[in-house]
Amino acid sequence: MELFTMFWEYRSYFLTGVQYTLILAAIGVLCGFVLGLIIALLRMSSWKIVRFFGHAWVEFLRGTPMLVQLLIIHYGFATVLGVSFSPIESGAITLTINSSAYLAEIFRAGIEGVDRGQGEAARSLGMSKGMTLRFIIIPQALKSVLPAIGNEFITIIKESSIVSMIGVTEIIFQSGVIVGITYDPMTPYLIAAIMYFILTFTLSRILGVFERKLKASDHR
């Protein structure tokens, strides 16, 4: 009862937190989707320097903590380069570039998983390499990796909690505000945990249904 009572009393705080959490996660995955696809294509380029850039991007972002990336973007850029971002902009940029590194590997695996014979057949019909990628390879690769993209969205929802460090009013930040009001260090964070679970569990179930529909369509 205490959980429900506190949630209801401070519902505007929690719901604002959910709103910002979902907005940041959506921006991170959608922009990361585009950037990740570009990085995946760079990693598969025939030019060594281009491949090196794509490889370095993925390895650096996957090999460093997201919190460090956030602090560099929000505080480092402002201090060294004079480029300052608002907290929500810094959070969105960090989630985007971090997500792009993981999505790039997902896309690369999907593209490499498409039967090479289809690309060869397309080129034998006069299609250029670019047209083959655009119309034959990438659409099939995207379909095969959609579940993995959905899982990345769920991951970003959880990892977006780090942006509370720079003052973005997502779920964890709002929970901290309520702790300061109520002097209760347990209940607000427990409510936050339940909210994260509801969000991720609901999305995972939706993705499961979507994945089964994709498999069913493949068998027709």
102-161, pLDDT tens digit by residue? 999 999 988 888 887 777 777 777 777 778 887 788 888 888 888 888 889 999 999 999
Q: Rounded to whole angstroms, what are the CA distances from 117 to 2, 113, 122?
A: 62, 11, 9
Flag whether pLDDT at 92 surpasses 90: yes
Q: How confident is the model at residue 214 (pLDDT cuts 50, 70, 90)?
A: confident
Q: Please give the CATH superfamily to which domain 2-215 belongs.
A: MetI-like (1.10.3720.10)
pLDDT (average), residues 195-205: 93
Question: What 3 state SS string does 22-83 have?
Answer: HHHHHHHHHHHHHHHHHHHHHHCCCCHHHHHHHHHHHHHHHHCCHHHHHHHHHHHHHHHHCC
Q: Provide the pLDDT for residue 26.
A: 92
SS3 113: helix
Flag whether pLDDT at 217 surpasses 70: no
Mean pLDDT of the chain: 89
19-36, pLDDT tens digit by residue? 999 999 999 999 999 999
What the block records as the tokens of 212 is: 């089964």
CA atoms within 13 Å, Cβ hemisphere of 208? 6
Q: Provide the pLDDT for residue 68.
A: 96
Q: Looking at per-residue confidence, does 121 or 196 come out higher? A: 196
Question: H or E element: which one contains 169?
Answer: none
Lowest mean pLDDT among 58-67, 143-152, 176-185: 143-152
What the block records as the tokens of 151 is: 């899982």
Flag whether pLDDT at 98 surpasses 60: yes
Q: How confident is the model at residue 219 (pLDDT cuts 50, 70, 90)?
A: low
- In the chain, how many H helices and how many E strands? 10, 0
Q: How many CB atoms lie within 10 A of CB 198?
A: 11
E-only strand ranges, 133-194: none
pLDDT (average), residues 12-25: 94
Q: Provide the pLDDT for residue 15.
A: 94
Flag whether pLDDT at 91 surpasses 90: yes
Flag whether pLDDT at 186 surpasses 70: yes
* Contacts of range 196-204, beta carbons closer than 8 Å, 24 or more positions apart: 196/157, 196/158, 196/161, 196/171, 199/18, 199/21, 199/22, 199/157, 200/154, 200/157, 200/158, 203/150, 203/153, 203/154, 203/157, 204/154
In the chain, domain spans: 2-215
- Dist. CA 25–CA 21, nearest whole Å: 6
State the pTM of this model: 0.90
Q: How confident is the model at residue 218 (pLDDT cuts 50, 70, 90)?
A: low
pLDDT (average), residues 51-73: 95
- Dist. CA 179–CA 1, nearest whole Å: 18
Q: Are 149 and 103 in contact (CB under 8 A)?
A: yes
